[in-house]
Amino acid sequence: MSGRDLEKVKKEIVELREKIRYHDYKYYVENMPEISDQAYDALYKRLKELEEKYPQFITPDSPTQRIGGKPLEGFQTVKHKVPMLSMDNTYSEDEIKDFDRRVRKLLPKEEVHYVVELKIDGVSVSLIYENGIFVQGATRGDGYQGDDVTQNLRTIRSIPLKLHSVEGKVPPVLEVRGEVYMPRKKFEELNKERKKNGEPLFANPRNATAGSLKLLDPNLVAKRGLDIFVWGLGYYEGIGFKKHHQVLEYFKKVGFKVNPHYKFCKSINEVIKYCQVWNEKKDFLDYAIDGMVIKVDDLEQQKRLGATTKAPRWLIAYKFPAERTETILKDIVVQVGRTGTLTPVAVVDPVFVSGTIVSRASLHNEDQIKRLDVRIGDHVLIEKAGEIIPQVVGVLKEKRTGKEKKFKMPDKCPVCGEKVVRELGEVAVRCINPLCPAQLKNSIKHFASRDAMDIEGLGEALIDQLVDNKLVQDYADLYYLKFEQLIRLERMGPKSVENLLRAISESKDRPLSRVIYALGIRYVGVHIAEVLAERFNSIDELAKASFAQLNIIPEIGPTIAESVVSFFSLPRTREVIGKLKKAGVNLVRKEEKVSDVLKGLTFVVTGTLKGYTRKEIEDTIKRYGGRVASSVSRLTNYLIVGENPGSKLDKARQLGVKTITEEEFNKMIGKEG
């Protein structure tokens, strides 16, 4: 075929893509189709035929490239350039007014307007576009890093793979945030199909959405009928806005689906009225909402209001009044957490509350039991705190028969039998026995969790066996486990044991911040652990820090400072730290970036590597200044190919992306052997 003929083919392909993108937008975003399904299918079929015949013209943003071929090998972790912070919640009109007063106090004598949006009950995601092309999508995760679910998000037809230009321009980088959800109709169809196949049903659309995004096969995700509404900006370059409502209008212009029910409000009373309207109308929507989001409209004001470590000060979520359901309290059991706190839990007749079946509900503490005067056998009211944690909120005393029994908190730990204490000024009753099996199991579970040491294969059932068989006395003992000890345990074959020991060994090299979080210091979450790791060079330095040294660190404060000092003052802590050190666990801060030799380069990895786990190769690329992507595109510089490569290798060849071996990568960073 002559060059002229090839140009004609290329031109037809480009025109077909533009037509399909236009009709996708009209159908999936605006819900206003202009052509029949048959006409659309004909366009799509013609494009697919041409791309199969002329693969050199395939691009990642083509409508035919939404769904990949083979299942993914796993999810990589990506860091958000701008943290995806959570939102503070309000549950009453008075609290909305309090929010308004706080905003106006920080912006004295300024006019403040709000934008109110529906709070979609789904999964928050980040979408990154480079020069108008969708290159990466990630879940919110812990707010600072999440899972790279690009391939799964590509299957959502309302997410544009290529943005429309505005005045002939697209931004060089644009990160938008949105909420992926499953429409009620699709949710009902999915559960009907699962019931037919004998599979467990999803409790609610949000759970179904989260489960769908975690599927490794994008072809399965494509069948789930997921949708999205975008609601905010992350990192961006080359564009500017003054108001949030202008951002939403811009999103619509470039091809995103924005929920149409947002409202610009000039006063807080107008905000409250709009929230009331949707509390009445929420059940008539084809998707679930669990409240409203109230945002300061002016972006300069947003900037000046700033944020706490957890949430922006310029927005707040108003949660609709929780659904309350009556049931019978059959018993009260006491659970022991990893810090020794005894928590009373109500065992109730199973009942459907806010989308899930509830058979247990929190009673919080002894004071709450007395306040409610709750008794075993009572008819009680259950609601979900923040739509997540079931709790007992009321007692129907008029239904008492006289057979109900009062409950008394135990004076001994229900697990180890040691005496419990209640410190002055605290509502919590605690077991102070450091060898309590319940505390030990929960502390090991925390230590091995994904945000901590991330020990794959160390689940709850195995932890129970390790503790019950006295193979571990603390989490440091994990690093001293032997093959012959583990092979005797239930459901532990040679392969499982080898995999577990390998995972334990690999965890020795986790960053200092993860180790600090893994220790289980009270009040020290993922973010505070990162703050401490930035300030102190090692666990030893942190252990020697005084209350005064800790208290002056921004974001720490007296409560956390006291908790850290108290933790490291315990002889038991010093003993465990010594064992971790002896086992070779990293207890010092390592410089993240050792060189800029890979700066500006984007890598994708496929197959099994000899010298690196997947996490290790990702960390190495980042330490040398490079960027890791989950899928091959024209923006990929190198594909590192290991043994048994997947479909990424075919894609790289198709796009002309350079492939390198593990050895060639090592040479690039100056690593011998």
Who's near 74: CB < 8 A, 6+ residues apart?
A: 216, 614
Greater model confidence, 559 or 485: 485
For 393-449, what is each residue's pLDDT tens digit? 999 999 999 999 999 999 999 999 988 988 777 788 989 886 789 999 999 999 999
Question: Span 581-608, mean pLDDT?
Answer: 84
């012959």: which residue's tokens?
484
How far CA 558 is from CA of 215, 285, 309, 387, 520, in Å, comes to 43, 46, 16, 31, 18
| Nearest-angstrom CA–CA distance, 111 and 301 | 10
Going by C-alpha positions, the residue among 491, 669, 486, 485 that lies closest to residue 595 is 669
Distance from C-alpha of 171 to C-alpha of 108, rounded to nearest angstrom: 35
CATH class of the domain defined by 325-399: mainly beta
Closest CA to 563 of 524, 507, 609, 508: 524
Instruction: Residue count of the chain, please give it.
Output: 673
d(CA 369, CA 381): 13
Distance in angstroms (rounded) separating the CA atoms of residues 673 and 666:
8
**Alpha-carbon distance 364 to 345, whole Å?**
8
Inter-residue contact 188 to 178 (CB < 8 Å): no
How many CB atoms are located within 10 Å of the residue 134 CB?
22
Strand arrangement of the beta sheet that strand 123-130 belongs to: 133-139, 123-130, 173-181, 227-237
538-565 residue pLDDT tens: 999 999 999 999 988 877 888 899 999 9
Residue 70: pLDDT band with limits 50, 70, 90: low
Average pLDDT over residues 108-118: 96
Section 186-207 average pLDDT: 85
> Residue 1: pLDDT above 70?
no
Task: Place 388 in a pLDDT band, splitting at 50, 70 and 90.
Answer: low
* Cα 124 to Cα 139: distance, rounded to the nearest angstrom: 6
Poorest-pLDDT segment among 243-247, 353-357, 380-384, 607-611 = 353-357
Half-sphere CA count of 219, side-chain side, radius 13 A? 5
266 tagged catalytic: no
* Cross-strand bridge partners of residue 126: 138, 177
pLDDT of residue 302: 94
Cα gap 542→453, rounded to integer Å: 19
Please, what is the average pLDDT of the chain? 89
**Predicted confidence (pLDDT) per residue in 101-111, tens digit:** 999 999 999 99
Q: Closest Cα partner for 319 from 389, 385, 231? A: 385
Q: What is the pLDDT of residue 594?
A: 61
- For residue 478, how many other CB atoms are within 10 A of its CB? 26
| C-alpha 164 chain-centroid distance | 29
Write down the CATH number for the domain with range 3-57: 1.10.287.610
DSSP type of residue 585:
-
pLDDT the model gives residue 673: 53
What's the rounded Cα separation, in Å, for the pair 63 and 160?
A: 9
Q: How much is the pLDDT for 645?
A: 83
Q: List every span in the chain annotated with CATH 1.10.287.610.
A: 3-57
| Amino acid code (one letter) for 259 | N
Task: Give the pLDDT mean for 575-595.
Answer: 85
Q: How far apart are CA 435 and CA 450, in angstroms?
A: 24
Q: Is residue 649 a contact partner of residue 657, using CB atoms and an 8 Å limit? A: no
Flag whether pLDDT at 382 surpasses 90: yes
Q: In whole angstroms, give the CA distance from residue 440 to residue 342.
A: 14
Distance, CA of 537 to CA of 591 (rounded, Å): 10
Q: Determine contact, residues 404/376, Cβ cutoff 8 Å.
A: yes
d(CA 296, CA 278): 19
pLDDT mean over 143-160: 92
Q: Which of the residues 8, 10, 79, 119 is marked catalytic?
A: 119
Q: Where in the chain is the domain with CATH 3.30.470.30?
A: 89-319
pLDDT score, position 386:
54
Sign of the CA dihedral running 594, 598, 599, 605: negative
Query: Has residue 624 got a pLDDT over 90?
Result: no
512-583 carries CATH number 1.10.10.10: no
Q: In which band, very low, low, confident or very high, does the pLDDT at 593 lie, cut at 50, 70 and 90?
A: low
Residue that has been written with the tokens 């700066």 in this structure: 599
**pLDDT at residue number 466:** 95
The pLDDT assigned to 69 comes to 53
Which of 26-35, 137-146, 588-597, 616-625 shows the lowest mean pLDDT across its residues? Answer: 588-597
The residue-averaged pLDDT of 23-51 equals 82
Lowest average pLDDT, out of 170-174, 432-436, 655-659, goes to: 432-436
Q: For residues 420 and 229, which has the higher predicted lDDT (pLDDT)?
A: 229
Q: Is the pLDDT of residue 60 over 60?
A: yes
Coil vs helix vs strand at 352: strand
User: Residue 68: pLDDT band by 50, 70, 90 thresholds?
Assistant: low
* CATH of region 602-668, choose from 3.20.20.150, 3.30.360.10, 3.40.1520.20, 3.40.50.10190: 3.40.50.10190
Band of residue 223 on the pLDDT scale cut at 50, 70, 90: very high
The predicted-structure confidence for 323-370, as pLDDT tens digits, reads as follows 789 999 999 999 998 888 899 999 999 998 876 789 999 998 999 999
Domain 437-509 indexed as CATH 1.10.150.20: yes
Name the CATH code of domain 89-319 (choices 3.40.50.2000, 3.40.50.920, 3.40.640.10, 3.30.470.30).
Answer: 3.30.470.30
Q: Which pLDDT does position 150 carry in this prediction?
A: 92
Confidence of residue 71 (pLDDT cuts 50, 70, 90): low
Half-sphere exposure of 208 (CA within 13 A, CB side): 31
Q: Give the Cα-Cα-Cα angle 385, 463, 390 (nearest 5 degrees).
A: 10
The tens digit of pLDDT for each residue in 245-298 reads: 999 999 999 999 999 999 999 999 999 999 999 998 988 899 999 899 999 999
Question: Which segment, 138-147, 301-310, 507-516, is predicted with the most confidence on average?
Answer: 507-516
The first and second tokens of residue 181, run together, are 């959800």
Question: Strand 315-319 and strand 89-90: pairing?
Answer: parallel
Between CA 381 and CA 386, with CA 384 as vertex, the angle to 5 degrees is 145
Q: For every residue of 165-221, which 3-state class applies, written as one string?
A: CECCECCCEEEEEEEEECCHHHHHHHHHHHHHCCCCCCCCHHHHHHHHHCCCCHHHH
**What residue spans in the chain does CATH classification 1.10.150.20 cover?**
437-509, 512-583
